[in-house]
Structure 1
Amino acid sequence: MSERILDVKNLKIDFHTYAGEVKAIRDVSFHLDEGETLAIVGESGSGKSVTTRSIIGLLANNANIAGGEINFHGKNLLDLSEREWQKIRGNEIAMIFQDPMTSLDPTMKIGQQIAEPLIKHKGVSKKEAWAKALDMMKAVGIPNAEERINEYPHQFSGGMRQRIVIAIALICEPEILLADEPTTALDVTVQAEILDLMKSLQKRVKTSIIFITHDLGVVAGMADRVAVMYAGELMEFGTVDEIFYDPQHPYTWGLINSMPTLDSKTLESIPGTPPDLLDPPKGDPFAPRNKYAMKIDIERKPPLFKITDTHYAATWLLAPGAPKVEPPLEIQRRWKKYQEMQKN
C-alpha cells in the first residue's frame, strides 16, 4: 500500500478585498499518495490554483488561512515560518506554473537557472550542479543541450521553455510536484509531448504530482485520481475511471458533457455563472445552475456521500430517498462503453 505523503484537512482560505471577505476555499479535504498523480479540475475561479499555492506557501499577501491543516509527512505546513518554507520550496515540494516566461529570469542563462536549486538546497558545487543541469536538459528533451545551456529564455520556443521549467522543478527530485495548468499556453502537439515527458520523468524521479487543469481531456491520460472543485468546494472525487465513466455529481456531468470527443455532434455548456464568494450560498453552491436541484439543495450543503471506498460526491441526489435521476445520455454512453471494456 502506498504511503500517504500529503493530507489536506478542512482547508479554509479567505481573501481580504476592498469589497469584503472572499471565501475562496471552503472546507476542502483531500490526500496525495506516494507516486500517484492527483488531478484537480474545475472551471476558472473554482479554487484550484489557490489550493495548490497554499501547499507551497505562495499565497497572495491578502490571503488568510481561516482554518484547516496541510500535513506533509505528518507536519502541518501552515505552521512553518518563511525561513522553514525556503528549505522545502523547490526542494521537497516544487511547482510548475502556467506561463514559463513569468517563471524564468530573462537575465540569467538557462543552465544557471536549472543549477541554482541544487546549489541552494543540496549544497553541491557549481561545477557539479551545471553537470546535473546539463543531464536534466537532455532528460527533458532539449536538443543540443551542450550549446543551449548558455542561452537565455528568449532564445527558446514556448514548448522548450516549459521543458526548462520542468527541469528546474525536478532537478532536486522533489517528493511532490505541483503543476498548475502547465500546458494551457501550448499547442496540442506540444501539449501531448509535455504530458508524456512529465509522466516519464515522474517514474524516473519517483515524485507525486498534483495536476491542476480545467481540461478533462488532459486528465484522462495523466491522473490516477481526480478531485472536482467548484466555488471553493470539493464536489466529487474518485479514481480517474470513476470520474470519467461513472460520475455522480451534476457538475461533473456538465464538465464531461462540455468536453469534445470524436463522437461529439454538439457541445453542451453549463448554463449560468458561479456564485459570488463574497456571500457564499448556504446550500449546494451549484444548485442555481443545476436542473436537477431540489429544495434541500438551496437550504443545506450536502455532505460527501460514499459511493465506493474511493469514490465520493457531494450531492443530495445520493441521499436515501432522493428521486432517481438518469444522467445525461453522454454519461450513460460512457458508462456502457466502460462496462463493455471491463468484459473484454
Structure 2
Amino acid sequence: MSKLLEVKDLKVSFNTYNGEVQAVRGVSFDLNKGETLAIVGESGSGKSVTSMALMQLLASAGFIKDGQILLEGEDLVKKSNKEMQKIRGKDISMVFQDPMSSLNPTMKIGNQIMEGLIKHQNMSRDQAKKRALELLHQVGIPQPEVRINQYPHQFSGGMRQRVVIAIALACNPKVLIADEPTTALDVTIQAQILELMKDIQKEIDSAIIFITHDLGVVANVADRVAVMYAGKIVEIGTVDDIFYNPKHPYTWGLLGSMPTLDSTDEELYAIPGSPPDMLKPPVGDAFAPRNEFALEIDTQMEPPMFKVSDTHYAATWLLHEDAPKINPPESVMQRMQGFANTGRKDGDK
C-alpha cells in the first residue's frame, strides 16, 4: 500500500500563563491510501490536538514545535496559512465532534456545502447546487430539494452530522479526519453514521483518521489502531493486534474498562489515578504512576517502541527481554475472549 500521509516526530505545545503545555510529544505514524487509522485514548491524551495540527487549525496559543507532516511528500508544517487554505477541504477535510458548532447558523445548508465546491472545484453556482443535492442524497438526507434551502436549526443532531460529512466529502478529499463524530449522538444514529462513513470511503477511496475514546466503535471501523497517552503513541497495530494481543498496560486498562455483550452486572474496571500534568511531563514512562505492573526502570527511562510483529509495536519495558513475563489482568482476558466470541469478522469492514 502506498503511503499517503507520514507524520514524523510531531511535537505540539501551547503557551499558557503557567508555562508551556507539551500536548503532543513526538508522535509518528503513517496512513495508507484507502486505510482507516483510529487514534484512541482518554481525554487529554493529545488525540484531537494531533488532528488539529494536521489541518494547521491550532488555537492561537498552540504551535508545532517540531516534526513533519508529509502529505504525498509535501511537508504541511512548512506551508503558510494561505497555502493551507487551498489544502483544507480539498486534500484534507475534517468532521468535528459537535455539528452545531461546525455549521453556520445564519447560512442555508445548501450554501454551506456549495461554498467549498465553488472555491476548490471552480464550479458555477448551478453546478455546485447540483452536486450539493447529490451529496445530501448520498449521506441519506431525505427530500434534499427541500432540505437544501433550510437552516441548521431545522435539522436533528444526526441529520446535522450527515450535513457536516457532506461538506467534508464535497471535494473528495484524500484524507478525512473524523474527530469523535458520533459522541453527541444516540447509539442507533451512531451506528448509521459509522456505516455511512465506511460506505462513502469505499466510493471515493479516501483515507480516514478516526479520533475516539470509544474502543467499541473502533472494532468495526478501523484497519489499524494507535493508542495515545500523555501526548505519545504507546501502542500501534492492526485491529486484531490491539484487541486480541494488546501489550501495553494502558491498552489493557482501556480494554478492561469497556463492556462487551458477555459482561456481567459487576462493576467495570477503572484505570486508577489521572493523566499527568503536561506542564511538567514525568520522567520515564508517563503511565508508570497508574500502572500496577510498573517496573523500577519505568520511573527512570522512557521505553522505546518495541517490535512485537511487522504490524505491531508497543512502548513498554515489559517487552524487554529481561523483563518479567506478565499477562494481562483477568478482566482484560475476559474482554479479549468476549471479542473473540462476539466480535469483528473479516467481512465487517
Normalising by structure 2, report the TM-score.
0.95
C-alpha separation in 2, matches of 1:59 and 1:78: 12
Partner of 2:40: 41
- 1: distance between equivalents of 2:226 and 2:205? 22
**Paired AA for residue 307 in structure 2:** K
What is the correspondence of 1:156-175 to structure 2 with a 5 Å cutoff? 156-175=155-174
Which secondary structure does the structure 2 equivalent of 1:68 belong to?
A: strand
- CA positional deviation for 1:13: 0.9
Paired residues of 2:304 and 2:315 also in contact (CA < 8 A): yes
- Equivalent position of 1:236 in the other structure: 235
State whether residues 100 and 162 of structure 1, in contact with CA within 8 Å, keep that contact through their aligned partners in structure 2. Answer: yes
Match of 1:326 in 2: 327
Tell me the equivalent position of 1:275: 276
Rounded to whole Å, the distance in 1 between the matches of 2:276 and 2:157 is 35
Which position in structure 1 is the counterpart of 2:347? none
Distance in structure 1 (CA, Å) of the matches to 2:312 and 2:256: 20
Task: Quote the residue 1:59 is aligned against.
Answer: 58
CA distance in 1, matches of 2:169, 2:124: 18
d(CA) in 1 for partners of 2:15, 2:111? 37
1:144-183 aligned within 5 A: 144-183=143-182
Provide the C-alpha distance between the structure 2 equivalents of 1:167 and 1:3, rounded to a whole number of angstroms: 26
Counterpart of 1:6, as a letter, is L
Provide the aligned C-alpha RMSD in A.
Answer: 1.4
User: 2: distance between equivalents of 1:214 and 1:144?
Assistant: 34
Matched to 1:164, the amino acid is: V
> For residues 157 and 147 of structure 1, what CA distance do their matches in structure 2 show?
15
**What's the offset of the Cα at 1:339?**
7.6
1:88 corresponding residue in structure 2: 87
Partners in 2 of 1:123 and 1:154 — Cα distance?
29
> Could you tell me how far apart the structure 1 residues matched to 2:340 and 2:192 are?
30
Aligned to 1:195: 194
Worse-superposed segment, 268-277 or 322-331? 322-331
Q: Which amino acid aligns with 1:10?
A: D
Deviation at 1:331, TM superposition (A): 3.1
1:312 corresponding residue in structure 2: 313
Residue identity in the other structure for 2:47: K
Distance between the aligned counterparts of 2:320 and 2:212, measured in 1?
A: 29
Cα separation, 2, equivalents of 1:152 and 1:245: 45
Assess if the C-alpha contact under 8 Å between 2:40 and 2:214 holds in 1.
yes
Residue ranges of structure 2 left out of the alignment (5+ in a row): 345-349
Q: How much has 1:335 moved relative to structure 2?
A: 5.0
Structure 2 residue identity aligned to 1:60: A
**Paired AA for residue 283 in structure 2:** K
8 Å Cα contact 1:245-1:331 kept in structure 2 = no
| Structure 2 letter corresponding to 1:313 | A
Q: Are 1:97 and 2:96 matched, yes or no?
A: yes
Q: Which amino acid aligns with 1:22?
A: V
Deviations 1:284-327 (A, max 9, x none): 00000000001100000000000000000000000011001121
Aligned partners of 2:260 and 2:338 also within 8 Å? no
Q: Which amino acid aligns with 2:275?
A: P
Q: How many residues are paired up?
A: 341
Q: Are 1:50 and 2:53 counterparts? A: no
Q: Which amino acid aligns with 1:200?
A: D
Task: Give the deviation of 1:115 after TM superposition.
Answer: 1.1
Once the two structures are TM-superposed, the CA of residue 247 in structure 1 deviates from its matched residue by 0.3
Shift of residue 334 of structure 1?
Answer: 5.1
- Counterpart-to-counterpart distance in 1, 2:89 and 2:338: 42
Tell me the CA shift for residue 66 of structure 1.
1.3
* 2:262/2:338 contact within 8 Å kept: no
Q: How many percent identity over aligned positions? A: 61
Change (3 A) 1:335 1:100: closer
Q: Which residue of 2 aligns with 1:295?
A: 296
CA displacement, residues 211-255 of structure 1 (integer Å, 9 cap, x when unaligned): 000000000000000000001011100000110111000000000
Which secondary structure does the structure 2 equivalent of 1:203 belong to? Answer: helix
- Identify if the C-alpha distance between structure 1 residues 255 and 336 changes in structure 2 by more than 3 Å, giving closer, same or farther: closer
1:161-184, Cα deviation, whole Å (9 max, x unpaired): 000000000010000000000000
Q: Which amino acid aligns with 1:140?
A: V
Query: Does the 8 Å CA contact 1:245/1:334 hold for their aligned counterparts?
Result: no
- Give the corresponding residue for 1:125: 124
Task: Give the distance between the partners of 2:337 and 2:156, measured in 1 at CA.
Answer: 43
